[in-house]
Structure 1
Amino acid sequence: MASSSQASRAVPNLAFRRLRGQRSPGEFAAAVRKAAREIGEQVSCDARYIGRVEAGEIRCPNYAYERVFLHMFPGLALGDLGFTAREQVRGGARCRPREQAHEQALDTRAFGFAATTHTGTDSDEESDVLRRAFMTSGTATAAAASLGLSSMAVPSQGRRRVGEPEVKAVEEAVRRIRLLDDRHGADGLYRRAAQPLRAAYALLDAGIAARRSTTDRLHSGAGELAISVGWLAHDSGRFDDARSHYAEALATARVAGDAALEAHAFCNTSFLARDTGRPREAVRSAQAGLRAAEHLSSPRLLALLSLREAGGWAGLGDRAGCEQALTRAHTYFDRGARAGAGAGAGAVDPEWMSFFGEPELESLQAQCWATLGDWPRAIRHARRAATLQDRRFTRNLALYRAELATDLAHGGTPDEAASAAEAALDVLDGVQSARIQALLSSTARTLRGHRGVRGVGAFLRRYEEVRV
């Protein structure tokens, strides 16, 4: 929502209002979503977004909306639609606080582009980076170039020597995928991210490295890339693809003797098994991950694997086993994070675990109690997850609010459930996650019998608008 100072300077977009014509904001939003589907875009446009545009709160749309609007009104430019030129929005008076601008610059450099500080109020730069990073012509070479992996292209004849540039490119691709997932969710990323993964494994198959350490890093990087792509498949509901990618990472770990990669692969395999109704496999995979991780000196990794095991026990209906695993998880978690050499030799948490803080700890506990049907406990932990989550991590913020809404709906408080679900919708634009959509769908189904309760009808109407 725009601040009061921003709202006071907003100039209504009368041109856009005229283009809407006699249609209601909700009807116009539905037309925007239909136009998006026609060109392969996905936007969560609703009446509230249209209202913000017409009020002048959105001075320039993000790149996805820009393409949709220009498709809807061929021959018109952004200025004809009442929007301000993008370069003026970037350089105008409405700047983010210095620390947010610094964060944006770091994010941009992380994708391999020049650091251009974004000063508008919308995530247009991030959306543009997402598309530039992953929109490819369908070849492994083009995908590699889009992610800074052009040096990974493998020649058709002979073998090539793999060096530091190729290894760094693989490692950087993993970081970029994780950062984009934090901001946008998995649905729009998966197929594009799978292409550089093929390029990375082509290097393993066709390349030789001058040093054993380079070979080890390439195996580790390719395995982490497989897990990252597997997670995108997992979060977007492509479970068979996810299982294949996780198995590929596990095989790579075994070949390379990489215990850290093995623990990560088992961690994600356990999560997938729980999500696909195989709780016993979830327990076994988590326990295998714990064995792989026992000498890695990362209590936080052991905590997460214990939480995965707890989720499996909950799926089996074993409350005692679940509680024991949760107690162990808390013991490990309370030992703190290990973020550098100062923590002791080898005592560094894996880079991929940056998402695992107190909000995720609370969320995973909530999931266990929800599976066991203990709604008061599930609600308590889910509420803490949603409250503690940093607003910069849009995907998880939407996820935790959606989980809270589902738990509240099942726990018999439909008014609070509707409020939490509306809060999830507030941050969902630009986030594409089948997991979050499934949670909101479940909440809507549960609340349909409570339309007379305050706030429920408004949420259901808004949800139906976005879903169309």
Structure 2
Amino acid sequence: MASSTVTSAQPERPPRPNLAFRRLRGKRSPAEFAAAVRRAAREIGERVSCDARYVGRVEAGEIRCPNYAYERVFLHMFPGRTLTDLGFAPRSSVRGRQARATVESRGAGEPYDTYDTHDVGDTQDVGDTQDLEDLQDLYETHDNNEESDVLRRAFMTSGATVAAASLGPLGLALDAAAAGRPTRRAGTGEAGALEEAVRRIRLLDDRHGADGLYRRAAAPLRTAYALLDAGASRQATADRLYTGAGELAISVGWLAHDSGRFDDARSHYAEALATARMNGDAGLEAHAFCNMAFLARDAGRPREAVRAAQAAQRAARPLGSHRLMSLLALREAGGWAGLADRVGCEQALVRAQTFYGRGPSDTDPEWMSFYGEAELEGLEAQCWSTLGDWPRAARHARRAADLQDPHFTRNLALYSAELADDLARGGHPDEAAGAGMRVLDLLGEVQSSRIHTMLAGTTRVLLPHRRSSGVSAFLDRHAALPRPA
């Protein structure tokens, strides 16, 4: 490997606080301002995972120039202003772009492959041009020279496609470990790249579903744990790495879960739980148990689902997030439904609604950005469906689909598939076929084995009603679908 590809350590330059951005925040807390940023993003069809920490990094000057998605949101929030007016540096002055051009000029024999957005081998999973642009921008938001180089190498190392690169952070550390060389102690650059990788996986899953993404997710997870083995320069950085590695394990586990690889998902969730307990991280522990409860329900182990959800609630109680407690109560309700315990299910659903009604708070975890009224309705629909109350399940599934932000394509397809199945089993074949058609319209953007499995079940229920023109059209179109790999 050419030594020129490894940047030597440079003296840290203290960032200059972004006072202009701080003035624009006004009297709002960082969390309140982050919520306003997320709302503004939804208004223009963007999806950003802005939280109080991100706002703090901007105001501290750690982010000299935002990526393009954040740029569009900020300019929408403050019309008539430029990035410079908001206190940011011009994009052309940020070192990441210049360095990327240098990397891209290397030949195929150089150690870090260039992005090739025309490689069609696996690019269907990231079919949105905007995603490709945002993925390339991930490593352009950092000014610190060493951190910029770490992120740039990280996202270039994973291979030929931008989609693969998006799920291959921290590749330099992984390469070093694989070659038997000591991996250097991790710093804030690696921790930041790990956290951004988790956000990116969640965004891609929201837009496109898990199938295809899971194949690429193992490498960054191995890298994350290699960084933990290497240690960190500061305890605060070590804590971020433990949390980031655990959250990444959960995200990878969810990709396995949603694509039908239950044994793999169980292993990843257990890894996240062990990481949480080693670091005394109650939030990560609650998240791991939450997903374990969901997996147990889907895998036909309802009693385990109940116990995992209850364990998650015990871990989450001191965290003070009502929305988290609401979601965990729904996980418990799903387990009780699987046990055919209608009373236990209804009691858990009441708790879920009560907690949800107390509203959001600054203590809500970042990973819960998906959990809104639509998800609450969708999960309740699943409970009534499991209990065989098809009319009630259909009512909640219809509300979920109506409430869902269209930008969350996967969830919109999921709720519509749930509605189609509930209507079919409830004796409304024509309405079920209509809902199924809406799911088929979305499958060009979404790859999810869960949704394909649900649709396959719906078609079997609708087969006796093939004489209906609407049902026949749905069945024929479903039969023409390419089979998932």
**How far apart, CA to CA, are the structure 1 residues paired with 2:378 and 2:166?**
37
Amino acid at match of 2:271: E
User: Structure 1 231/351 Cα, relative in aligned 2: closer, same or farther at 3 Å?
Assistant: same
- Between 153-162 and 183-192, the greater mean CA deviation after superposition: 153-162
User: Structure 1 134/459 Cα, relative in aligned 2: closer, same or farther at 3 Å?
Assistant: farther
Partner residue in 1 for 2:69: 106
User: 1:135: how far off?
Assistant: 9.9
Partner residue in 2 for 1:178: 202
User: 1:452: how far off?
Assistant: 1.8
Tell me if the contact between 2:157 and 2:168 (Cα under 8 Å) persists in the aligned partners.
no
**How far apart, CA to CA, are the structure 2 residues paired with 1:395 and 1:137?**
26
User: 1:439: how far off?
Assistant: 0.8
Amino acid at match of 1:201: Y
Query: Which residue of the other structure, out of 110, 125, 129, is the alignment partner of 1:125?
Result: 129
Taking the TM superposition and a 5 Å limit, the aligned residue runs for 1:265-304 are: 265-304=288-327
**How far apart, CA to CA, are the structure 1 residues paired with 2:434 and 2:226?**
49
Is 1:161 matched with 2:185? yes
Tell me if the contact between 1:307 and 1:329 (Cα under 8 Å) persists in the aligned partners.
yes
How far does the alpha carbon of each residue in 1:327-355 deviate from its partner, in whole angstroms, 9 at most, with x for none?
Answer: 000110001111xxxxxxxx421111000
Partner residue in 1 for 2:271: 248
- Between 143-152 and 414-423, the greater mean CA deviation after superposition: 143-152
How far does the alpha carbon of each residue in 1:411-455 deviate from its partner, in whole angstroms, 9 at most, with x for none?
Answer: 000000000000111111021100000111011110010012241
Partner residue in 2 for 1:438: 453
User: Structure 1 100/324 Cα, relative in aligned 2: closer, same or farther at 3 Å?
Assistant: closer
The runs of at least 4 consecutive aligned structure 1 residues that moved more than 6 Å come to: 101-104, 107-110, 129-135, 142-145
Partner residue in 1 for 2:29: none
User: 1:106: how far off?
Assistant: 1.2
**How far apart, CA to CA, are the structure 2 residues paired with 1:137 and 1:279?**
41
Is 1:316 matched with 2:279? no
Partner residue in 2 for 1:196: 220
How far does the alpha carbon of each residue in 1:174-216 deviate from its partner, in whole angstroms, 9 at most, with x for none?
Answer: 00000000111001100101110000001111x1222211111
Amino acid at match of 1:302: M
Tell me if the contact between 1:144 and 1:152 (Cα under 8 Å) persists in the aligned partners.
no
Partner residue in 2 for 1:417: 432
Tell me if the contact between 1:414 and 1:450 (Cα under 8 Å) persists in the aligned partners.
yes
User: Structure 1 409/134 Cα, relative in aligned 2: closer, same or farther at 3 Å?
Assistant: farther
**How far apart, CA to CA, are the structure 2 residues paired with 1:162 and 1:448?**
57
Tell me if the contact between 1:260 and 1:292 (Cα under 8 Å) persists in the aligned partners.
yes
Tell me if the contact between 2:156 and 2:165 (Cα under 8 Å) persists in the aligned partners.
no
Is 1:261 matched with 2:246? no
Partner residue in 1 for 2:354: 331
Is 1:232 matched with 2:177? no
User: 1:158: how far off?
Assistant: 3.3
Query: Which residue of the other structure, out of 441, 447, 462, is the alignment partner of 1:447?
Result: 462
Partner residue in 1 for 2:105: none
User: Structure 1 175/127 Cα, relative in aligned 2: closer, same or farther at 3 Å?
Assistant: closer
User: 1:151: how far off?
Assistant: 4.8
Q: TM-score, structure 2 length as denominator?
A: 0.68
Amino acid at match of 1:367: Q
User: Structure 1 307/386 Cα, relative in aligned 2: closer, same or farther at 3 Å?
Assistant: same
Partner residue in 2 for 1:60: none
Tell me if the contact between 2:135 and 2:166 (Cα under 8 Å) persists in the aligned partners.
no
Amino acid at match of 1:294: R
Tell me if the contact between 1:134 and 1:193 (Cα under 8 Å) persists in the aligned partners.
no
How far does the alpha carbon of each residue in 1:56-106 deviate from its partner, in whole angstroms, 9 at most, with x for none?
Answer: xxxxxxxxxxxxxxxxxxxxxxxxxxxxxxxxxxxxxxxxx9924797941
Query: Which residue of the other structure, out of 170, 175, 178, is the alignment partner of 1:149?
Result: 170
**How far apart, CA to CA, are the structure 2 residues paired with 1:109 and 1:213?**
32
Taking the TM superposition and a 5 Å limit, the aligned residue runs for 1:131-142 are: 136-137=158-159
User: Structure 1 445/306 Cα, relative in aligned 2: closer, same or farther at 3 Å?
Assistant: same
**How far apart, CA to CA, are the structure 2 residues paired with 1:353 and 1:101?**
17
**How far apart, CA to CA, are the structure 2 residues paired with 1:240 and 1:108?**
41
Partner residue in 1 for 2:370: 355
**How far apart, CA to CA, are the structure 1 residues paired with 2:194 and 2:134?**
17
Tell me if the contact between 2:424 and 2:462 (Cα under 8 Å) persists in the aligned partners.
yes
Is 1:466 matched with 2:481? yes
SS in 1 for 2:481: helix
User: Structure 1 144/413 Cα, relative in aligned 2: closer, same or farther at 3 Å?
Assistant: closer
Query: Which residue of the other structure, out of 393, 406, 421, is the alignment partner of 1:378?
Result: 393
Partner residue in 1 for 2:11: none
User: Structure 1 165/242 Cα, relative in aligned 2: closer, same or farther at 3 Å?
Assistant: same
Tell me if the contact between 1:194 and 1:229 (Cα under 8 Å) persists in the aligned partners.
yes
Is 1:390 matched with 2:405? yes
Is 1:209 matched with 2:154? no
SS in 1 for 2:444: coil
User: 1:159: how far off?
Assistant: 5.1
**How far apart, CA to CA, are the structure 2 residues paired with 1:425 and 1:108?**
33
User: 1:236: how far off?
Assistant: 0.1
User: Structure 1 382/145 Cα, relative in aligned 2: closer, same or farther at 3 Å?
Assistant: closer
Tell me if the contact between 2:69 and 2:134 (Cα under 8 Å) persists in the aligned partners.
no
How far does the alpha carbon of each residue in 1:89-137 deviate from its partner, in whole angstroms, 9 at most, with x for none?
Answer: xxxxxxxx99247979417999x999xxxxxxx9540575699879945
Tell me if the contact between 1:151 and 1:165 (Cα under 8 Å) persists in the aligned partners.
no
How far does the alpha carbon of each residue in 1:338-390 deviate from its partner, in whole angstroms, 9 at most, with x for none?
Answer: 1xxxxxxxx42111100000000000000000000011110110000011101
Q: TM-score, structure 1 length as denominator?
A: 0.70
- Between 146-155 and 400-409, the greater mean CA deviation after superposition: 146-155
SS in 1 for 2:182: coil
**How far apart, CA to CA, are the structure 1 residues paired with 2:228 and 2:72?**
27
Amino acid at match of 2:44: E
User: Structure 1 320/252 Cα, relative in aligned 2: closer, same or farther at 3 Å?
Assistant: same
**How far apart, CA to CA, are the structure 1 residues paired with 2:71 and 2:428?**
42
How far does the alpha carbon of each residue in 1:387-416 deviate from its partner, in whole angstroms, 9 at most, with x for none?
Answer: 110101111111111110000000000000
User: 1:149: how far off?
Assistant: 2.3
**How far apart, CA to CA, are the structure 2 residues paired with 1:98 and 1:296?**
30
User: 1:148: how far off?
Assistant: 4.1
Aligned residues, how many?
352
Tell me if the contact between 1:302 and 1:332 (Cα under 8 Å) persists in the aligned partners.
yes
User: Structure 1 407/134 Cα, relative in aligned 2: closer, same or farther at 3 Å?
Assistant: farther
SS in 2 for 1:359: helix
Amino acid at match of 1:307: L
How far does the alpha carbon of each residue in 1:10-29 deviate from its partner, in whole angstroms, 9 at most, with x for none?
Answer: xxxxxxxxxxxxxxxxxxxx
How far does the alpha carbon of each residue in 1:25-71 deviate from its partner, in whole angstroms, 9 at most, with x for none?
Answer: xxxxxxxxxxxxxxxxxxxxxxxxxxxxxxxxxxxxxxxxxxxxxxx
